[in-house]
A and B are shown apart, each in its own frame.
Chain A
Amino acid sequence: MKKQLRTNPVLKAVAVILLLVLAAGGFWASLFTLYKWDDIWTGAGYYDSNNYYANLYNRLGQVQELARLTQEKAWDGGLSYLDQQRLENLKEMLAPEKTNFRFQLLDNATGELVYGNLKGWPMGESVYRVHTDAMGFTRNGGERREDYMSWDGEQEYYLLHLVLPDGSTKVCTPEETQLAAQYGWFFDGGYSWEYDSSRDSRVVSVEFAVEYGVTNPTTVEDEFTQGAQEYLEYAQYLPAIALLALVLDAAAVLLFVFLCLGAGRRREREGVVLNGFDRIPLDALAILEFFALALLLNAGDSMAWAFNTMSLTPDLAAGLSVISLGIAGCVEAFLLTLVVRIKAGTVGSNTLVWMLCKVIYKGCRRISASWPLTGRMVGWFLLYLLGTFLTALTVFLIPVYQGVVLWLLCRWTIQWKRVRTGTEQITGGNPEYKIDTEKMYRDLKIHAEQLNNLGSAISTAVDERMKSERFKAELITNVSHDLKTPLTSIINYVDLLKKEEISDPKAAEYIEVLDRKSQRLKKLTEDLVEASKASTGSLSVNRERLGVVQLVQQALGEFEEKFARSCLTPVLTAPAEEAYVEADGRHLWRIIDNLLSNCNKYALEGTRIYLDVIKWEGQVTLSVKNISRQQLNIPAEQLMERFVRGEESRSTEGSGLGLSIARSLAELQGGTFRLDVDGDLFKAAVSFPESEAPTQIEA
């Protein structure tokens, strides 16, 4: 609702026009109030007002002129025609029939009345308040300038040349000062003369005392009656005008606030909308406004002068109104566009100065981009030197300039550090890390962006790799499933064949081979699935604390008959106390199952299999050692590869996946798996971090 109001275009237009009128009106009302305020509200009445005093001093000026002309007439015995006219004019102006101003000129020395317009009334009774003043007139005061001094080289003093009233010149030496003293000159006792005009017989001066005032009540029509009348009028209307000024000003401020809130906002549009005016560069606009205001004020000045000196005519009122509105319009438009710019954040950027700087900056960048890096570095250094030189001239700018340079260097260092951190992250196994390149220096930015691209490339490659691994595992699983169905038929029908009565011993032998191979195929597919799952980590691991010795004993129990059949003797060496590890029992069993199956398959008959459980430095290690039946000519590392077996011919059963599965499973559970081949001695070791014994064996 509020936004609706603020963005209503009609309301906004009305507000703009109203603001103009209010501002202009408020200005004049305020000006009038302030102008008259002192006069009316601090004075006790008209006889204390500015207007009264202004008129009074105006009249005093006339009195002074009158006194001067009178005295000159007395001195010279007559006046020039113009002066005589003037005197009579003044006398008429100051006549009691023409003015309420009353005065009397007295000789200040004797108190004798020289001139006045009191018509015989005593001063104190005639006027509201008696003002006094003194004025002096001097004759021939400037004539001593015709006297002059000349240097007497022999006597080493100045000779005084007096110009006498008859025009002749008399030379005076310090020896005869009597004449000189008459004309106000005194020898200073050294070599020069001093002048005192008051003791110069040629200078004549007279001083008048003036008493003056204004009658109360006024008797004739003059400026005082008019002033008093106006004063009363203003005193009557001023409170209303002051109130009006206050209301107009307040309304103007409120309207301005309203316009500021709505400035730049449009209905149905988000954010700040700039119109054409708001797009004019601010400094250009300011200059335009300055000229417009100067023009308006210049025009207004003459009108205001006319207003001050004459009364307000309709023409003048219209002119002043237009000019006031024009000024208010200029100011309003400027303030509102400023508000919009501040809201849109374009105060600084939308200026000609800024644009110029930008153009220069971009030009420099483009030019320097083609320079080699070292060239740019040299350029910067030369710029720095120039700056140092320039600031050195103005001493106080040195710390500021060097501080700015230091700040720029620090910024560079911080950004460089950011690049380094990013590189560490990317090389440290976090290729998805992105360096924040915002506001970086150009060269660093290019570098950082390349690093970011490198990181993306690596992470894409890793993802691809993971995907392909997963895909492989899935493929193996699916293929195994598909293999199993025909394999079921093969096994079943071979089994059925075995049950048939076959007389041919050869056929029976062939069936036996088929049976063996189909069983191997079965084992192979099962191992294949398991190996692919273990190596891609898609098996779930349920870790719990379990005893390795217990597990080995259980496993040996399972293998008892198999070992007995192969004439193998297991020898278990275990610590007296159970060794506990955190592992998934089924996976750990699978590892040991594979190791013991290997022993059963490949160990030399009649030998012993050594199983050792060792607790060492926080690790529990189970090692299985046996003597191989056949020569092991394959490195231990290769034995753990998929499909590698300890003999080349692949004649015996086994998929060749057992060790690979064992290693994958051990690593999946956070353990390690090692193989060692020493001659015919085959040694496998699984290690897990030892965990604490449970406080209570779970029953």
Chain B
Amino acid sequence: MYNILICDDDKDIVAALEIYLTSEGYRTLKAYDGLEALRLAEEHPVDLILMDIMMPGLDGIRTTAKLRESRNVPIILLTAKSEDSDKVLGLNIGADDYVTKPFNPIELIARVKSQLRRYTTLGGRPGADSAALTNGGIVLDDTAKSVSVDGEAVSLTPLEYNILLLLMKHPGRVFSTSQIYEQVWNDPSLGSENTVAVHIRHLREKIEIDPANPRYIKVVWGLGYKMEKI
């Protein structure tokens, strides 16, 4: 039973979010501005906060900064702004994730779950298993050939697994499709790079919450793919 603090100046959105979260079995706390959110977070045990950015009085960014002074509770920002600079600002200030309005309720729930798993069960840092490769919430155990994302096991095809292994081994490095093909298929690439793109697409669908806005496997357009180092 987790306590989730919802903070948005639009009461209907708060109400809708409450319905979704209670149906998933979470307890909710409701705040309609930043000051109220701060007060509630102070008075009640809170496991996750959903925070709107544009609010009267204390806005989401400043509330987050204030919360981060003393607490490491996961914070997901809800924002109507879609500019990259706003997202970067939000993450830099201490938010763990963000969702742009209008959001898909299913995606939001998935992100909430992911953050809660990481915050509670994983405790931030996985065990120092030498065989396991980790990046963010992804844990790849090469001996067991198993992959889990935020503690939840993911089943991958051998090719997808090998692609993920290659990317996990070199986080931050950009692999072109032909490089990936040559290393995973062990064949010289002869214009069959489409296959790689399709497989990576499938891989993203299994690992990422929102495959169109990937968090781990980033598309570097015109150059290739890379595993974002988190």
Distance from A580 Cβ to chain B, minimum over Cβ atoms (Å) = 9
Q: For the complex, is A548 an interface residue (Cβ under 8 Å from B)?
A: yes
Instruction: Contacts A484-B101, A585-B222, A699-B174 given; indicate if A489 touches B10 (C-beta within 8 A).
Output: yes
B221 touches A586 (CB 8 A): yes
B36-73 contacts to A (CB < 8 Å): 54
For the residues of B in contact with A, the DSSP-based class is mixed
For the residues of A in contact with B, the DSSP-based class is helix
B221 touches A589 (CB 8 A): yes
Distance from B175 Cβ to chain A, minimum over Cβ atoms (Å) = 8
Q: In this complex, what residue of A is CB-closest to B99?
A: A488
As a 0/1 sequence over residues 504 to 524 of chain A, the CB contacts with chain B under 8 angstroms (1 = contact) are 000000000000000000100
Residues of A within 8 A of B175 (CB): 699
Instruction: Contacts A546-B223, A550-B222 given; indicate if A556 touches B197 (C-beta within 8 A).
Output: yes
Q: For the complex, is A558 an interface residue (Cβ under 8 Å from B)?
A: yes
A459-486 contacts to B (CB < 8 Å): 481-482, 484-486
A550 touches B223 (CB 8 A): yes
Distance from B12 Cβ to chain A, minimum over Cβ atoms (Å) = 4
Q: For the complex, is A554 an interface residue (Cβ under 8 Å from B)?
A: yes
Q: For the complex, is B148 an interface residue (Cβ under 8 Å from A)?
A: no
Interface segment, one of A131-139, A167-175, A226-234, A490-498: A490-498
Distance from A499 Cβ to chain B, minimum over Cβ atoms (Å) = 8
Q: In this complex, what residue of B is CB-closest to A584?
A: B221
Q: In this complex, what residue of B is CB-closest to A553?
A: B193
A546-562 contacts to B (CB < 8 Å): 546-548, 550-551, 553-558, 560-561
As a 0/1 sequence over residues 182 to 196 of chain B, the CB contacts with chain A under 8 angstroms (1 = contact) are 000000000101101
Distance from B172 Cβ to chain A, minimum over Cβ atoms (Å) = 11
A544 to B174 Cα, complex, angstroms: 14
As a 0/1 sequence over residues 204 to 230 of chain B, the CB contacts with chain A under 8 angstroms (1 = contact) are 000000000000000111111100000
Q: For the complex, is B134 an interface residue (Cβ under 8 Å from A)?
A: no
A492 to B14 Cα, complex, angstroms: 10
A698 to B200 Cα, complex, angstroms: 20
Residues of A within 8 A of B133 (CB): none
Interface residues of B toward A: which range?
A: 35 or more
Residues of B within 8 A of A554 (CB): 177, 197, 219, 221-222, 225
Residues of A within 8 A of B194 (CB): 553, 556-557, 560, 572
Residues of B within 8 A of A489 (CB): 10, 12-13, 16
A557 to B197 Cα, complex, angstroms: 4
A673 to B174 Cα, complex, angstroms: 29
A589 touches B173 (CB 8 A): no
Q: For the complex, is A163 an interface residue (Cβ under 8 Å from B)?
A: no
Q: In this complex, what residue of B is CB-closest to A590?
A: B221
Distance from B201 Cβ to chain A, minimum over Cβ atoms (Å) = 5
Q: For the complex, is A487 an interface residue (Cβ under 8 Å from B)?
A: yes
A40 to B191 Cα, complex, angstroms: 123
Instruction: Contacts A553-B197, A554-B177, A698-B223 given; indicate if A496 touches B16 (C-beta within 8 A).
Output: yes
Identify B201's interface contact among A481, A558, A697, CB under 8 A.
A558
A698 touches B222 (CB 8 A): no
A487 to B104 Cα, complex, angstroms: 11
A547 to B194 Cα, complex, angstroms: 14
Identify B101's interface contact among A487, A493, A585, A698, CB under 8 A.
A487
Distance from A684 Cβ to chain B, minimum over Cβ atoms (Å) = 18
Residues of A within 8 A of B81 (CB): 481
Residues of A within 8 A of B221 (CB): 546, 551, 554, 585-586, 588-589
Residues of B within 8 A of A492 (CB): 13, 16-17, 20, 102, 105
Distance from A579 Cβ to chain B, minimum over Cβ atoms (Å) = 10
Distance from A392 Cβ to chain B, minimum over Cβ atoms (Å) = 81
Q: In this complex, what residue of A is CB-closest to B225?
A: A554
A572 to B191 Cα, complex, angstroms: 10
Distance from B109 Cβ to chain A, minimum over Cβ atoms (Å) = 11
Residues of B within 8 A of A550 (CB): 176-177, 193, 222-224
B173 touches A699 (CB 8 A): yes
Q: For the complex, is A583 an interface residue (Cβ under 8 Å from B)?
A: yes
B12 touches A493 (CB 8 A): yes
List 12 contacting pairs A-B, 8 Å CB cutoff, sorted by A: A484-B102, A485-B101, A489-B12, A491-B102, A492-B105, A526-B82, A550-B177, A553-B196, A554-B221, A572-B194, A585-B220, A585-B221
Nearest 3 CB-CB pairings of A with B:
A557-B197, A546-B222, A585-B221
B residues whose Cβ falls under 8 Å from a Cβ of A: 10, 12-13, 16-17, 19-20, 54, 80-82, 101-105, 173-177, 179, 191, 193-194, 196-201, 219-225
